[in-house]
Structure formats: C-alpha cells, structure tokens
Chains A and B, each alone.
Chain A
Amino acid sequence: MFHRLTHLVSCREATRWLSQGEERPLSLSERVKLGLHLRVCEACSRFAAQLRLMREALGRYRR
C-alpha cells in the first residue's frame, strides 16, 4: 500500500512541487499527493527539511 502511494507521484515531481510551493499556492490535488509522498519517502522529507534550512540560512545571510 505504502509502496503504491509513493509511486502516485515521483520524487522528481515531489521536489518540483516543494520548490514551487515557495512561489505559488499548490493546488489541493498537488498538496494531497505531495503530503502522501512525504509520509512514505524519507529522501524527499529530508530534501524538504534541507530546503527550509537553506531558506533560513539565506534569511540570516541578509540580517
């Protein structure tokens, strides 16, 4: 079951949505698919955390 959910959306797509989420509101469908993917994909969850850290680092860079 989890295996199938992971493959509803690929890591390639998930990372694009994670990035685009900073610029535009994701659609309901995108949010649901992304949320399910992140629950089962450790690599993309890690990527999401790293995106947040980079944003934080760039924030401190200008302060």
Chain B
Amino acid sequence: MPSAEGRTSCGLQSRADTPFALTFVLRGVAARGFCRPRILQPAVDSDPFAAELETHRRYLLRVAQLQLRDQDVAEDVVQETLFAALTGRDGFSGRSSVKTWLTGILKHKIVDVIRQKARQPVIEATFDEETDLEDFDALFRDDGGWAAPPADWGDPENALSRREFFDVMEFCLEKLPAKTARVFMMREVMELESDEICKELTITANNLWVILYRARMALRECLERHWFSGQARA
C-alpha cells in the first residue's frame, strides 16, 4: 500500500533543519487542506495504472467541485476516489474507460458526502430561489414565443472534436448557480436516476424538472454565446 507520508502536493517536506515555528505553520497549512499529501504520488513513478489514474485528477476535481462547491471537500473526495481505484483495481473490468469507471466511484463518494451533510443540523438554503421560473420568462415573449430564437450552431459535430469546446463547457457549467449545477451534474454526468436525486436532495420531482430545465437553458445560452456565435472557431 502506498505511503501517504513525506510528500505533499506542494512538495513540502519536513526537514530536520526547518525551524520549529515554520514546521508548525506548514503543518497548519497542510491540515487546512491547502497542501495535502498526494497518496498516489509514490506509486505513480513505478506503476503505470496509478499514473493513468492521476491523469484524471483534474477532471474529477472539476466534477466534484461543481457538485460540492467546497474545494477542500472536493479534494478529499477525489483523493478517496483515486485511492479506492488504486486499491480496487481488480474491480476495473475494462468494459468502460478508466475515466467512466472513476466517475462511477466518485458518484458514490459524492452521494455519501451529501448524505452526511443532510444529517447535519445546518439548514441549507432551500432550492426555492433557484426553482423560481420567473426570471426565465425573459427568454420568451408574452405570447410564449422565443424572445431570441436559438441561433444556427453550424456544424456542431466539429465542436465535439475540439478540446477547447469542452473548456468552454466547463466554464459554462461553473457559471450555473451552485445548486442548479449540483443537480445538473448529478443527472447528466454522474447519471443518477431522477428519483435518486430527489431522494438524496429531498426535492420534489417538479423541483427537479424545473432545475434541470433552467440548467439546460442557461448552458445552451452560454455555449451559444461563447462558442457557437464565434464561428471563427469552426
């Protein structure tokens, strides 16, 4: 089993000649999560599988962060995911990609965190502020027709072959309101069933539909504005 000791993501190491006070500060920084140990690091050098897992860290962090909106918790969850994958590599069937497999592990870790949070007596803001459809009416005229109809996206298949398109998509996902993004990611990326999401987040089916509708409308608008209208990219 790989050791978590010694290295941190910032490359800091406890050294005998580090002044006592500074060691204390560094430990504090590490403890607050600014500089946590990379459990996989020692394995990456000698183990190609660990090295491949490590290449998905950035993606996993983005996905976790979009759902949890807490950098510290997101990093913990990703670390646990990578560690579970490393120690449970026999569970990888090879039928799906490593990335899809990791996404599946991450899904369970995120649901666990959400369940723990739900048990805490801290009352989170309700979804109400994000399920109100009123401000979306600006998209449509009074008679229910489009105020600004969707533009022609040209050759959208071309977009899917471009890495930059996915950067723009991440940017657009990050612009969604926090809870809207969480629900949308759970549904579209984690592929949780609608009733699972409703149960975990204690929202009604109607809330869910409204939130997903808003997310899709906002994502569509953002992609159109930041990618498809600049056909220079095509």
Contacts and interface: CB of A to CB of B under 8 A. Distances in A.
Q: Which of A12, A46, A51, A63 has the most B CB atoms < 10 Å from its CB?
A: A12
Given A54-B219, A57-B165, A19 B213 contact: yes
Given A47-B220, A62-B189, A11 B209 contact: no
A5 B160 CA distance: 35
Contacts of B156: 49-50, 53
Give the bracket for the number of chain B residues in contact with chain A: 35 or more
A3 interface: no
Given A20-B213, A53-B153, A10 B189 contact: no
Contacts of A20: 209, 213
Per DSSP, are chain B's interface residues mostly helix, strand or loop, or mixed? helix
Contacts of B169: 57-58, 61
Interface in B187-226: 187-189, 191, 194, 205, 208-209, 212-213, 216-217, 219-220, 223-224
Contacts, number: 88
B85 to A, nearest CB: 15
Contacts of B143: 10
A19 B160 contact: no
Interface residues of A, number: 29
Contacts of A4: none
B194 A23 contact: yes
B216 A56 contact: no
Contact of A12 (B103, B140, B194, B205): B140
B144 interface: yes
Interface of A: 10-13, 15-16, 19-20, 22-24, 42-44, 46-47, 49-51, 53-58, 60-63
Interface of B: 63, 96-97, 99-100, 103, 137, 139-140, 143-146, 149-150, 152-153, 156, 159-160, 165-166, 169, 187-189, 191, 194, 205, 208-209, 212-213, 216-217, 219-220, 223-224
The 4 closest A-B pairs by CB, nearest first: A10-B144, A43-B149, A12-B144, A19-B213
